[in-house]
């Protein structure tokens, strides 16, 4: 075999890069192999970004990798525009709302702050490596005790409240606290975007809390555009890998994970080249890593069954429209570059859009999130719910139907936009699956729910990053704590690999 490395990371998505940087900085000789011609996975394709609006990379990872906070966390994001059924949009900066009635704005601010506190307390659990069910180690107990303490610090009333809502649905929570409307639509969008759940589905409070747990110097629960755009974020982690002596190869598709004596031994690329390494970390989704790259012959039948039945049904389609000029907003003004727009007039609209997707159809009125990039003169839209398993199949016709219904929605909030643009380029969940090793085209490589969290993420027997074949680790969003741009799975997986015996 050719050159020998201490560790190989499959996939240069942000989690793969974070894992590689963590290993390289610990003195390991690391190689990152990336199938595509660009780094950053869903974040990094200049032609078509699956994730144009990243959440913030976790501050402690930024610190551990000594990344430039000014670049990673950029400037404070512009207010989010939340469109209701009519009138100008509400402008939302974290918990502060402009354009809503005072009572509602106050209720929203209070809820936003409360969820932030509760998410912060849960964050200790959501972001640390999960405990091992049935075999608690002293280290796990320490983590649990820390979290228990953090939860106690919330105070009895807020803790009781958290224990009540944690497994509940965002519909009931928001109906109680702020009533249905564009603000509820905005929060419910955060709770559901990327997953296969509507606002009425139990478990959506947890997804909301997960997003509320994302932190940056600008506050919690925010989409944060790095200074210089997503590419700058990718570049700075990649630079960190290289600075620590790591190598990154693009256009190097891994075809197989090699196994010798029941241990990972390296990878084989599509061109037949074999690269030896005692550690292999995969940023691809669990299904792709285990069923395709590793192969079921190394795994037990029950393990394969659990892997196969992992819920990972992508529900978001990405559409890019040409936008020669900043689009004009309903109610005046224009959409700023990097500004986030949400057109989900209320929770009911989201639930109704979800109804169709449940049965494998496209909704008549999808709910959307959009952002405008002045540099590329492009309006990038994430539309839900667009099911991976569309009954009629993701034909060109289906895509153009989706494109038309999204454009109709856009025309309502960006009057006249339709006249200035042409047909959208559409990336369906099927395209995302094909392009990024994400089974089901799912943003998070697997549905984010209580039965696929912590020691059950991605599924029972595959948690804690280590796979049954020694030396193989999962470091992508399929591993705990999951998706969005936070870097925690990559960071935790690298640390698990560093801590493993024989390393």
Partner 1 sequence: MNAPATSAARPVPVPQVLSGLEPGPFHDRLAALNHQQAWMNWMGYASPSVLDTVEFEYFAIRNQSTLFDISPMCKYAIAGPDAEAVVNRLVTRDIRKLKPGRVAYCIWCDEDGQVVDDGTVFRYGPNEFRLCCQEPQLSWLEDIAWGYEVTIRDVSREIAGLALQGPTSCALLRDLGLDGIESLKPFGIGSFDIAGVALSVSRTGFTGDLGYELWMAPEGALAVWDALMAAGRLRGLRVIGYEALDMARIEAGFLLPKIDFLSAQTVLRADRAVTPYELGLDWLVALDKPHFNGRRALLELSRKPPRRKLVAIEIERDKPAHNALVYHRKSREVGMVTSALWSPTCKRNIAYAWLDAPYGQTANDHLWVEIYLQKEIRWQRRMARCHPVEKPFFTHPRRTATPPAEY
Partner 2 sequence: MKYDAIIVGAGHNGLTAACFMARAGLKTLIVEKEDHVGGAAVSLSLTPGWTYSNCSYVCSLLRPEIIRALELPKHGLQVIPYEGGAVFNSKGDYFAYLSDHDALRRELIRHSPRDADGYERYARAVMRQCRFIKPLLLRTAPDPVALKPRDISELLFILKRFHNLGAREMAETVRFWTMSIAEYLDQFFETPMIKAYIAGSGIIGTGLGPYSPGTAYVLLHHYMGEVDGAIGAWGFARGGMGSITQAMARSFEASGGEIRMGSGLDRFVVRDGKVRGVVLENGDEFEAETVISGMDVRRTFIDHTDEKELPADFVRGVKRYRFRGSSGKLNIALDGMPSFTGAPKDASFLRGDLHFLDDMEEIERAYDDWKDGRWSASPYVDFLIPTQIDPTMAPPGKHYATIFVQYAPYELADGQWDDANREAFAETVISKIERHSPDFRKLIVHKEIRSPKDIEDQVGLTEGNIFQGELTFDQLLFNRPVPGYAQYRSPIKGLYMCGSSTHPGGGVMGAPGANAAREVLRDLGHRIDMGLSA
Are 35 and 254 within 8 A, CB to CB? yes
Q: What angle do CA 164, 168, 171 make, to 5 degrees?
A: 120
Q: Does residue 197 touch partner 2 according to CB under 8 A?
A: yes
* 134 vs 138 by CB, closer to partner 2: 134
Q: Please report how close the Cβ of residue 463 comes to partner 2 at its closest, in angstroms.
A: 9
Say if residues 207 and 191 touch (Cβ distance below 8 Å). yes
Contact assessment for residue 250 and residue 12, using Cβ atoms and an 8 Å cutoff: yes
Site string for partner 2, 418-457 (x = CB under 8 A): -------------------------------xxx---xx-
Contact 456, 480 (CB under 8 A): no
> What distance in Å separates the CA atoms of residue 143 and residue 480, rounded to the nearest whole number?
15
Q: What is the DSSP string of 43-102?
A: GT-SS--S-SSPBPPPHHHHHHTT--HHHHS-SPPPPEEE--SSSSPEEEETTEEESS-H
User: What minimum distance in Å lies between the beta carbon of 352 and partner 2?
Assistant: 8
Select 207 or 216, whichever has its Cβ closest to partner 2. Answer: 207
- CB of 300: closest distance to partner 1 in angstroms? 4
For position 157 contacting partner 2 by CB under 8 A, the verdict is yes
Out of partner 1, partner 2, none, what residue 163 binds, judged by CB under 5 to 8 A for its kind, is: partner 2
Task: Pick one of 149, 163, 270, 325: the residue that binds partner 2 (CB under 8 A).
Answer: 163
How do strand 90-93 and strand 96-98 relate by DSSP bridges? antiparallel
The tokens 């494109």 sit on which residue?
A: 403
Pick one of partner 1, partner 2, none as the site partner of residue 176 (Cβ within 5 to 8 A by kind): partner 2
CB 398, min distance to partner 2, A:
20
Question: C-alpha angle with apex 20: 220 to 251, nearest 5 degrees?
Answer: 110
Closest CA to 462 of 304, 313, 312: 304
Considering the complex, what minimum distance in angstroms separates the CB of residue 388 from partner 1?
11
The half-sphere exposure of 366 on its side-chain side, counting CA atoms within 13 A, is: 30
* Residue 302 within binding range of partner 1, rule CB under 8 A: yes
Rounded Cα gap, residues 91 and 116, in angstroms: 19
Find the binder of partner 1 among 304, 336, 455, 498 (CB under 8 A). 304
Under rule CB under 8 A, residue 404 binds partner 2: no
If one asks whether residue 308 binds partner 1 (CB under 8 A), the answer comes out as yes
For partner 2, the closer CB: 98 or 451: 451
- From the list 273, 274, 373, 354, the residue with the least C-alpha distance to 315 is 354
Contact call for residue 256 and partner 1 (CB under 8 A): no
Residue 501 is a binding residue for partner 2 (CB under 8 A): no
Q: Which helix (H) or strand (E) holds 228?
A: none
Residue 501 binds: one of partner 2, partner 1, none (C-beta under 5 to 8 A by kind): none
Binding residues among 460-499 for partner 1 as defined by CB under 8 A: 461, 468
User: Taking CB under 8 A as the rule, does residue 161 contact partner 2?
Assistant: yes
Q: Which residue has the tokens 């016709």?
A: 397
Q: How far apart are CA 182 and CA 347, in angstroms?
A: 8
Distance of alpha carbon 267 from alpha carbon 256, whole angstroms? 6
- Does position 132 interact with partner 1 (CB under 8 A)? The reply is no
Question: Binding pattern to partner 2, positions 341-380, x when CB under 8 A?
Answer: ----------x---x--xx---------------------
165 binds, among partner 1, partner 2, none (CB under 5 to 8 A by kind): partner 2
Binding site for partner 1 (CB under 8 A): 262, 287, 291-292, 295-305, 308, 439, 461, 468
């Amino acid at each position: 075999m050719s050159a020998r490395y201490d560790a190989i990371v499959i996939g240069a998505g942000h989690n793969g890069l974070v894992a590689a940087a963590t290993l390289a900085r610990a003195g390991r000789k690391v190689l990152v192999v990336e199938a595509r011609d660009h780094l950053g996975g869903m974040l990094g394709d200049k032609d078509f970004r699956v994730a144009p609006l990243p959440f913030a990379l976790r501050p402690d990872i930024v610190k551990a990798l000594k990344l430039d906070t000014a670049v990673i966390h950029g400037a404070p994001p512009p207010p989010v525009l939340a469109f209701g059924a009519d009138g100008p949009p509400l402008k939302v900066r974290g918990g502060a709302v402009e354009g809503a009635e005072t009572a509602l704005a106050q209720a929203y601010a209070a809820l936003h702050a409360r969820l932030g506190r509760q998410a912060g307390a849960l964050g200790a659990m959501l972001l640390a490596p999960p405990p091992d069910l049935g075999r608690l180690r002293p280290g796990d107990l320490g983590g649990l005790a820390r979290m228990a303490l953090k939860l106690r610090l919330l105070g009895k009333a807020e803790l009781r409240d958290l224990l009540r809502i944690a497994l509940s649905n965002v519909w009931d929570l928001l109906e109680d606290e702020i009533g249905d409307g564009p603000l509820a639509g905005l929060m419910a969008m955060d709770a559901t975007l990327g997953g296969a759940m509507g606002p009425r589905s139990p478990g959506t409070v947890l997804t909301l809390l997960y997003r509320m747990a994302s932190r940056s110097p600008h506050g919690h629960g925010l989409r944060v555009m790095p200074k210089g755009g997503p590419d700058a974020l990718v570049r700075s982690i990649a630079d960190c890998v290289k600075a620590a002596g790591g190598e990154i190869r693009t256009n190097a598709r891994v075809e197989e994970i090699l196994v010798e004596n029941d241990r990972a031994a390296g990878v084989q690329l599509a061109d037949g080249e074999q690269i030896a390494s005692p550690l292999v970390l995969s940023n691809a989704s669990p299904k792709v890593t285990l069923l395709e790259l590793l192969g079921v012959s190394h795994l037990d039948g029950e393990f394969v069954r659990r892997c196969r039945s992992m819920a990972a049904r992508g529900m978001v389609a990405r559409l890019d429209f040409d936008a020669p000029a900043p689009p004009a907003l309903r109610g005046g003004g224009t959409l700023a570059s990097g500004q986030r727009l949400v057109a989900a007039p209320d929770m009911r609209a989201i639930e109704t859009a979800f109804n169709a997707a449940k049965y494998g159809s496209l909704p008549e009125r999808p709910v959307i999130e959009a952002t405008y990039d002045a540099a590329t003169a492009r309006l990038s839209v994430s539309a839900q719910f667009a099911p991976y398993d569309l009954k009629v199949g993701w034909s060109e016709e289906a895509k153009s139907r989706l494109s038309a219904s999204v454009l109709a929605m856009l025309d309502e909030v960006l009057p006249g936009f339709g006249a200035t643009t042409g047909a959208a380029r559409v990336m369906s969940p099927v395209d995302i699956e094909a392009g990024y090793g994400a089974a089901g085209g799912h943003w998070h490589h697997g549905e984010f729910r209580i039965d696929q969290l912590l020691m059950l993420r991605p599924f029972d027997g595959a948690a804690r990053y280590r796979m049954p074949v020694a030396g193989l680790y999962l470091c992508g969003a399929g591993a705990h704590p999951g998706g969005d741009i936070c870097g925690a799975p990559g960071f935790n997986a690298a640390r698990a690999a560093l801590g493993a015996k024989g390393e």
